[in-house]
């Protein structure tokens, strides 16, 4: 689909449909995944996450050596749709081309329960899924977590849950490692694409960039309010972690973090503020290498749109998307 058309269609549906209408129109995540797999001649692999309604699906053959674990966005309102399904395979394809097929990895994705379910449902499902993956034999240092928008928010929930556990939900697998007195092994990396931490509270970039972005200020504010209306006041710090103190100790969980956003997206300030809070901790670079990449002229989830509809002649990916590819390559090389 032409990118201009894709942005226009997405913007229209998001602005004019309720969450339930969008869910009905787009269909269930697992159906979308199975259709995508059939279209791409891939054998569907669907794993139940024990103790929950979530599932983990594989967008490649299942692997235990190197795994890019994707958590999709959609404001917690929409299912796992085609351009999100194609995103990580697109990054992998670019990396295989770059390395002559010598550096490969598996791709898993979390299919979690969407709205009207709210916190801590998604965090519980993600925690259980990650614990199950590690228990199955995937070493934490060989896992890179990647999430866009609400998916990035869910990864941030996991970070804060690991550092300051939420009462009455399963512990982070990294906390459990400490409990049994095994030396902590850190994740291979975390990529947060257009992270959303302002749920229901507009940042200045909402007003500044709503004329450029397909995900405009109105739906962002509404969806954030819908989600937050179901969150207990005591749980808000895990969903909207807006203090640097909540990230204290992050270097014990991960040594490499990439935060990306577009200069013309409504969530630009969310990415900048998140980076700033971690930077306030003044963690030495040898313990935490954190990078903020703001793409000039980019909009919400620009890399996902770039992979869906490449704009460069010959179908090449943008420099910003390729920086994600390079980052993944370096992260897996560092872990090997």
The predicted structure's pLDDT at residue 101? 87
CA–CA gap between residue 265 and residue 302 (Å, rounded): 9
Q: In this structure, what token pair is assigned to residue 253?
A: 């969980």
Nearest to 321 by CA among 63, 115, 146: 146
Whether the pLDDT of residue 176 is over 80: the answer is: no
- Per-residue pLDDT, averaged over 6-24, amounts to 93
The predicted structure's pLDDT at residue 172? 93
Whether the pLDDT of residue 181 is over 80: the answer is: no
7, 174, 237, 241, 253 from 160: Cα distances, Å? 33, 12, 9, 8, 10
The predicted structure's pLDDT at residue 248? 94
Alpha carbons within 13 A on the beta-carbon side of 167: 3
Q: In this structure, what token pair is assigned to residue 114?
A: 């969407």
Whether the pLDDT of residue 141 is over 80: the answer is: yes
The predicted structure's pLDDT at residue 336? 77
Read off the pLDDT band of 184 (50, 70, 90): low
Whether the pLDDT of residue 30 is over 70: the answer is: yes
The predicted structure's pLDDT at residue 178? 46
Whether the pLDDT of residue 94 is over 80: the answer is: yes
Respond yes or no on whether the N-terminal peptide bond of residue 142 is cis (omega within 30° of 0): no
Q: Is the sign of the CA dihedral 307, 311, 316, 317 positive or negative? A: negative
CA–CA gap between residue 248 and residue 141 (Å, rounded): 20
Whether the pLDDT of residue 177 is over 60: the answer is: no
The predicted structure's pLDDT at residue 183? 44
**For 192-226, what is each residue's pLDDT tens digit?**
999 999 999 999 999 999 999 999 999 999 999 99
The alpha helices in the chain, defined as continuous H runs, are 3-16, 19-26, 29-39, 82-98, 121-135, 150-163, 173-179, 204-209, 217-228, 236-239, 268-279, 302-308, 319-335
DSSP letter at 66 equals: S
**Cβ contact 219:149 at 8 Å:** no
Quote the pTM value.
Answer: 0.96
The predicted structure's pLDDT at residue 1? 59
Q: In this structure, what token pair is assigned to residue 252?
A: 């014990």
What SS3 string covers 144-181? EEEEECHHHHHHHHHHHHHHCCCCCCCCCHHHHHHHCC
Q: Is the sign of the CA dihedral 83, 202, 159, 333 positive or negative? A: positive
């Amino acid at each position: 689909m032409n990118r201009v058309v894709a942005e226009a269609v997405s913007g229209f549906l998001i602005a004019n449909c309720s969450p339930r209408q969008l869910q009905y129109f787009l269909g269930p995540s697992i159906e979308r995944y199975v259709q995508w797999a059939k279209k791409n001649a891939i054998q569907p692999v669907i794993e139940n996450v024990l103790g929950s309604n979530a599932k983990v699906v594989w967008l490649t053959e299942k692997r235990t050596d190197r795994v890019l674990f994707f958590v999709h966005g959609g404001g917690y309102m929409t299912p796992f749709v085609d351009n999100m399904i194609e995103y990580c395979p697109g990054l992998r394809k670019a990396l295989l081309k770059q390395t002559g097929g010598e550096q490969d990895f598996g791709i898993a994705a979390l299919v979690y329960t969407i709205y009207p379910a709210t916190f801590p449902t998604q965090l519980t499902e993600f925690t259980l899924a990650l614990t199950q993956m590690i228990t199955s034999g995937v070493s934490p240092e060989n896992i890179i977590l990647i999430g866009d928008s609400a998916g990035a928010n869910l990864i941030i929930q996991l970070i804060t849950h690991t550092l300051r556990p939420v009462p009455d939900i399963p512990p982070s697998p990294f906390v459990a490692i400490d409990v049994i007195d095994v030396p902590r092994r850190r994740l291979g990396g975390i990529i947060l694409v257009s992270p959303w931490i302002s749920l229901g509270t507009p940042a200045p970039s909402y007003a500044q960039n709503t004329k450029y972005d397909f995900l405009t200020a109105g739906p962002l504010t509404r969806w954030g309010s819908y989600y937050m209306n179901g969150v207990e006041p005591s749980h808000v710090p895990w969903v909207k972690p807006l203090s640097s103190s909540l990230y204290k100790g992050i270097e014990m969980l991960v040594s490499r973090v990439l935060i990306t956003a577009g200069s013309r997206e409504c969530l630009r300030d969310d990415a900048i503020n998140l980076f700033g809070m971690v930077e306030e901790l003044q963690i030495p670079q040898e313990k935490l290498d954190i990078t903020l990449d703001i793409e000039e002229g980019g909009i919400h989830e620009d890399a996902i749109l770039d992979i869906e509809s490449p704009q460069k002649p010959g179908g090449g990916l943008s420099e910003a998307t390729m920086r994600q590819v390079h980052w993944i390559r370096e992260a897996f090389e560092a872990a090997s």
